[in-house]
Amino acid sequence: MFEQPGEFTRQIYSVSDLNAYIRALLESNENLIDIWIAGEVSNLSKPRSGHIYFTLKDMDASVRCVIWRVHANRLAGVFRDGMRVEAHGNVSVYEGGGQYQLYVDGIRAAGEGRLYQEFLLLKDQLTAEGVFEESRKRPIPPQPKLIGIVTSPTGAALQDMLNTLLSRFPITEVVLSPASVQGEAAPAQIVKALERLNKFARPDVILIGRGGGSLEDLWAFNDEQVVRAVAASEAPIISGVGHETDFTLTDFAADVRAPTPTGAAVMAVPDINDIKIGLNGWSLLLEQSMGDVLGLQQSKLTEEKNRLDLLSPGWQIKQRMQRLDNLSLRMDHLVNRYFLQKKQQLELAEEKIVSFDPHNILGRGYVLVEDKKGNVIKTIKQVQLGQDISVHVSDGMISADVTSIKEKE
Amino acid sequence: MAKKPASIENQNYEQALTELEDIISSLENEPSGLEKSVAIFERGKALIKHCQKLLDSAEMKVRQLEEDGSMSRLED
């Protein structure tokens, strides 16, 4: 070993170093990041760790692939062994095995990329034509009497829809217009089934849909003729195609888009339990209306009773008694006033009489002169010189002789 | 208001509910005699009972539309 000393002077790397170096090389190569690889799935394995391992292969080659647990839940359902897929991810190295691998974070059925391009193109075209206009959407009748269904007679979607309708709103009727929902013949069959339904059954609403599947499985619902037929349907349409995350052009053209066939059935009908509760509300409303009617009649009755009371003998007597009281009061008043007036007149007369009493005048300095016979002397002609006269003053009488008589000038 | 003394038994759920609505609005808005009101009210009660019966006993009818436009009972 030591005969070739030159070998000892070279740098020696460990396996770990080698693999780490290769890994760094691959991971820094822009061509190996964010790439799509097409191939067939094989050796699919889903150990309990939650990661998914499989091999992608074509005619001549194969590559190991890993889906880490963070992506595994999302992607596990969309592919299986033997399926042709397109996987997205980046290339790196599993250093423990010295093996380069594709680390996958997205996966789709082969051809979906092309289908998606077609989808976008048709979507743009129909959008431009106004096929998806919000203003074209019609309301769904709240309690449809007849519901049309366009789907496969053998699919799980039909059973889902029927079960949902039965449990929510069994008083409705259902007409199935069968159509294949997958494969070459599906679009034409769906169009015919829709037309037949509108022509012969004339349902209040139509449910159209199918269960989940690959984008290719759902492709019939992106067919231009199907989309146009949905938009042109006489009855409003609820679409329920695939899963929550699947959007088809049929969904855009439908009046309402439901996430699944079951969801479409839910949206088509109310819950009968709510209706039963509503019926209790009707019952209450009816009782209340009747209560109002009775109340109205009661108040009418009270009003009539009041009017009748006005006409009763008792009321009449009361009325007359009151009138009598009234008259009596007025009379008292008149009588009082009469006597008061007379009293005042009397007082006035008394004052006058008093003022005429001659003795009253004597008090003020006047005197009353009489002859012996008591005649009041008013003129000089009644007296002669020497005659006895009586002069009356306020508090007595003075006897006097006439000593002179003079006539007024 | 359409006055059709149709037999309650023969009415479907929609018809019964429509008449019930009419009855309530007539009780509310069209004053009529007490006797008549009571009769209308009784009919309303019967309609509600009928609706309840329909809801309780409903059996969804499912048919299949054939290509010629005829309908056949769908067996499941």
Classify residue A325: in a domain, yes or no: no
CA atoms within 13 A on the CB side of A40: 9
User: Is residue A19 located within the same domain as residue A101?
Assistant: yes
Residue B4 pLDDT > 70: no
Distance from CA of B6 to the nearest CA of A (A): 20
Q: Are A171 and B60 in contact (CB < 8 Å)? A: yes
Q: Which two tokens stand for residue A335?
A: 């009588």
Q: How much is the average pLDDT of A40-56?
A: 93
User: Is residue A189 located within the same domain as residue A215?
Assistant: yes
Question: A63 vs A322, which has greater pLDDT?
Answer: A63
DSSP 8-state class, residue A376 = B
Q: How much is the average pLDDT of A222-238?
A: 96
When pLDDT is cut at 50, 70 and 90, the band that residue A196 belongs to is very high
Q: Are A283 and B54 in contact (CB < 8 Å)? A: no
- H-helix segments, A201-312: 224-232, 249-253, 261-268, 272-311
User: Is residue A157 located within the same domain as residue A49?
Assistant: no
Q: Which two tokens stand for residue A237?
A: 């349409």
- CATH number of the domain where residue A86 is located: 2.40.50.140
- Helix, strand or coil, per DSSP, at residue A185: coil
The tens digit of pLDDT for each residue in B8-52 reads 888 887 888 888 888 888 887 776 777 888 888 888 888 888 888
When pLDDT is cut at 50, 70 and 90, the band that residue A300 belongs to is confident
Domain extents for chain B?
10-73
Q: Tell me if chain A has a CB within 8 Å of the CB of B71.
A: yes
- CATH number of the domain where residue A194 is located: 3.40.50.261
The tens digit of pLDDT for each residue in A112-155 reads 777 788 888 999 999 999 999 999 999 999 889 999 999 999 99
User: Is residue A259 located within the same domain as residue A141?
Assistant: yes
Q: Tell me if chain B has a CB within 8 Å of the CB of A278.
A: no
**What distance in Å separates the CA atoms of residue A396 and residue A237, rounded to the nearest whole number?**
142
Q: In whole angstroms, how far apart are CA A276 and each of A146, A357, B62?
A: 20, 114, 23
**What distance in Å separates the CA atoms of residue B70 and residue B76, rounded to the nearest whole number?**
19
| Residues in chain A within 8 Å Cβ distance of B73 | none
The last residue of a domain, from among A270, A296, A320: A270
User: Is residue A233 located within the same domain as residue A289?
Assistant: no
When pLDDT is cut at 50, 70 and 90, the band that residue A221 belongs to is very high
Q: Are A296 and B31 in contact (CB < 8 Å)? A: yes
Nearest to B65 among A171, A197, A279 (CB): A197
Nearest to B55 among A171, A201, A293 (CB): A171
Q: Which two tokens stand for residue A348?
A: 């006035």
When pLDDT is cut at 50, 70 and 90, the band that residue A9 belongs to is low
Classify residue A76: in a domain, yes or no: yes
Classify residue A174: in a domain, yes or no: yes
Classify residue A119: in a domain, yes or no: no
Nearest to A201 among B24, B60, B65 (CB): B65
The tens digit of pLDDT for each residue in A360-385 reads 777 777 888 888 888 888 888 888 88
Question: B23 vs A268, which has greater pLDDT?
Answer: A268
The last residue of a domain, from among A238, A270, A302: A270
| Contact criterion met (CB below 8 Å) for A108 and A93 | no
Walk across the sheet containing A237-241 and list its strands: A256-258, A237-241, A205-210, A146-151, A173-178, B61-65, B71-73
Beta strands in A110-167 (DSSP E): 146-151
Q: Which two tokens stand for residue A91?
A: 């290339």
Residue A305 pLDDT > 80: yes
Rg of chain B in Å (alpha carbons): 18
With a CB cutoff of 8 Å and minimum separation 6, the contacts of A55 are: A41, A42, A43, A62, A63, A64, A65
Q: Tell me if chain A has a CB within 8 Å of the CB of B28.
A: yes
DSSP 8-state class, residue A199 = I
User: Is residue A278 located within the same domain as residue A197?
Assistant: no
Q: Which two tokens stand for residue A350?
A: 């008394």
User: Is residue A192 located within the same domain as residue A82?
Assistant: no
Q: Which two tokens stand for residue A297?
A: 């009649």
User: Is residue A143 located within the same domain as residue A220?
Assistant: yes
What's the confidence (pLDDT) of residue A79?
84
Nearest to B55 among A162, A176, A272 (CB): A272
User: Is residue A143 located within the same domain as residue A75?
Assistant: no
Distance in Å from the first CA to the final CA of chain B: 43
Q: What percent of chain A has pLDDT over 90?
A: 51
Q: How much is the average pLDDT of A330-349?
A: 87
Q: Which residues of B16-31 are buried (b: 16+ CB within 10 A; e: fewer)?
A: bbebbebbbebbeeee
Task: Please count the other Cβ atoms lying within 10 Å of the Cβ belonging to residue A26.
Answer: 17
What's the confidence (pLDDT) of residue A2?
47
Total domains present in chain A: 4
When pLDDT is cut at 50, 70 and 90, the band that residue A63 belongs to is very high
A153: closest chain B residue by CA:
B64
**What distance in Å separates the CA atoms of residue A264 and residue A206, rounded to the nearest whole number?**
10
**What distance in Å separates the CA atoms of residue A113 and residue A116, rounded to the nearest whole number?**
5
Classify residue A328: in a domain, yes or no: no
Q: Which two tokens stand for residue A243?
A: 């899963």
Average predicted confidence (pLDDT) for chain A? 89
User: Is residue A161 located within the same domain as residue A227?
Assistant: yes
DSSP 8-state class, residue A100 = E
Residue closest to A173 by CA, chosen among A165, A164, A181: A165
Distance from CA of A44 to the nearest CA of B (A): 37
Bridge partners of residue A208, in order along the sequence: A150, A239
Distance from CA of B7 to the nearest CA of A (A): 19
Q: In whole angstroms, how far apart are CA A169 and each of A375, B21, B50, B76?
A: 139, 21, 17, 18
Classify residue A345: in a domain, yes or no: no
Residue A157 pLDDT > 90: yes
Q: How much is the average pLDDT of A273-294?
A: 85
What's the confidence (pLDDT) of residue B64?
92
What's the confidence (pLDDT) of residue B1?
44
Classify residue A321: in a domain, yes or no: no
Q: Tell me if chain B has a CB within 8 Å of the CB of A282.
A: yes
Q: With the C-alpha atoms ordered B5, B7, B10, B15, is the resulting torsion angle positive or negative?
A: positive
Give me the domain span that covers residue A74: 6-110
Distance from CA of B9 to the nearest CA of A (A): 15
| Contact criterion met (CB below 8 Å) for A129 and A227 | no
Classify residue A378: in a domain, yes or no: yes
Distance from CA of B5 to the nearest CA of A (A): 18
Q: Which amino acid is at A179?
A: A
Residue B6 pLDDT > 80: no
**What distance in Å separates the CA atoms of residue A309 and residue A307, rounded to the nearest whole number?**
5
User: Is residue A261 located within the same domain as residue A380?
Assistant: no
Q: Are B48 and A283 in contact (CB < 8 Å)? A: yes
- Cα angle A139, A144, A147 (rounded to 5 degrees) comes to 100
Q: Tell me if chain A has a CB within 8 Å of the CB of B37.
A: yes
Residue A26 pLDDT > 90: yes
Bridge partners of residue A240, in order along the sequence: A209, A258
User: Is residue A155 located within the same domain as residue A104?
Assistant: no
Q: Which two tokens stand for residue B52?
A: 């309840």
Nearest to A174 among B44, B51, B62 (CB): B62
| Residues in chain A within 8 Å Cβ distance of B13 | 171
Residue A111 pLDDT > 90: no
When pLDDT is cut at 50, 70 and 90, the band that residue A1 belongs to is very low
Q: How much is the average pLDDT of A159-168?
A: 94
**What distance in Å separates the CA atoms of residue A46 and residue A24, rounded to the nearest whole number?**
28
